[in-house]
Amino acid sequence: MESHLTLRVDGEARSLTVDTRTTLLDALRDRLSVTSPKKGCDHGQCGACTVLLDGRRVLSCLILAVAHDGAQVTTAAGLAPEDGELHPLQRAFLDHDGFQCGYCTPGQICSAAGMLDEASAGHPSLVTPVADGDGRSDGHVRRGPAALGDDEIRERMSGNLCRCGAYVNIVAAIREVSAQ
């Protein structure tokens, strides 16, 4: 079964007809030639395909394109404010040498961008101390953005694997942007 849909990809409206079986990742890469998100495991275990879908980080390999007609998709290539400029996370990954082969990098950067927004919105992680953000009985939760420590960054980024093992520098890059 085929379906017609429109996606707004990195700020540009793109219309296409897809077989219902097409994942968002395959629609981006194979149909729209948007090759920034990478196909690593294709089973939701590595994070290389991470994009921002309507502003939230998700795994595009486990999402059916047909279910997201009209959605806004941001890839690592579309994060920069203008052509020729770099997003602070892109700059920091360069400055800190946050990669070796670079295959996981677009997913790392998209995931970090989504993660920093989540932290700013007061979303806890498994290692967030209760006292720092626990809800009170009146429903009030203290909101971020507190600078994230290394434990927080590692836990919140655990869905992005780097088989070159550039984790130390990835954490440093994200820590720098988190503190800005």
Partner 1 sequence: MIPFDYAPASDTDSAVATVTARPGAAFLGGGTNLVDHMKLGIASPDLLVDVTRLPLDAVEELPDGGLRIGATVRNSDLAANPLLRSRYPLLSHALLAGASGQLRNAATTAGNLLQRTRCSYFQDVTTPCNKREPGSGCAAIGGWNRYHAVLGASEHCIAVHPSDMAVAMSAADAVVTVLGEEGERRVPLGEFYRLPGDTPQYDTNLAHGELITSVELPPLPAGARSGYRKVRDRASFAFALVSAAAVLVTDGGHVREARIAFGGLAHKPWRATHAEEALRGAVLGEEAFRLAADAELRYGQPLPGNAFKIPMARNALAALLRELAFVEERR
Binding site for partner 1 (CB under 8 A): 1, 3, 19-21, 23, 42-44, 47, 50, 56-59, 62-64, 66-67, 111, 114-115, 118, 121-131, 133-137, 139-141, 154-160
**Which SS3 state, helix, strand or coil, does residue 84 take?**
coil
Angle between helices 105-120 and 167-178 (to 10 degrees): 40
- C-beta of 102 vs 159, nearer to partner 1: 159
CB of 122 to partner 1, least distance (A): 7
Bridge partner list, 6: 15
Instruction: Note whether 39 and 24 are within 8 A (CB).
Output: no
Tokens of 23: 């994942």
CB of 88 to partner 1, least distance (A): 19
- C-beta of 154 vs 175, nearer to partner 1: 154
Bridge partner list, 53: 56, 73
- C-beta of 84 vs 136, nearer to partner 1: 136
Q: In what order do the strands lie in the sheet with 72-74?
A: 12-19, 2-9, 72-74, 50-53, 56-59
Separation of alpha carbons 117 and 180, rounded Å? 13
| Nearest CA-CA partner of 180 in 153, 149, 147 | 147
Instruction: Note whether 147 and 127 are within 8 A (CB).
Output: no
CB of 38 to partner 1, least distance (A): 14
CB of 124 to partner 1, least distance (A): 6
CB of 65 to partner 1, least distance (A): 10
- C-beta of 32 vs 153, nearer to partner 1: 153
- C-beta of 110 vs 173, nearer to partner 1: 110
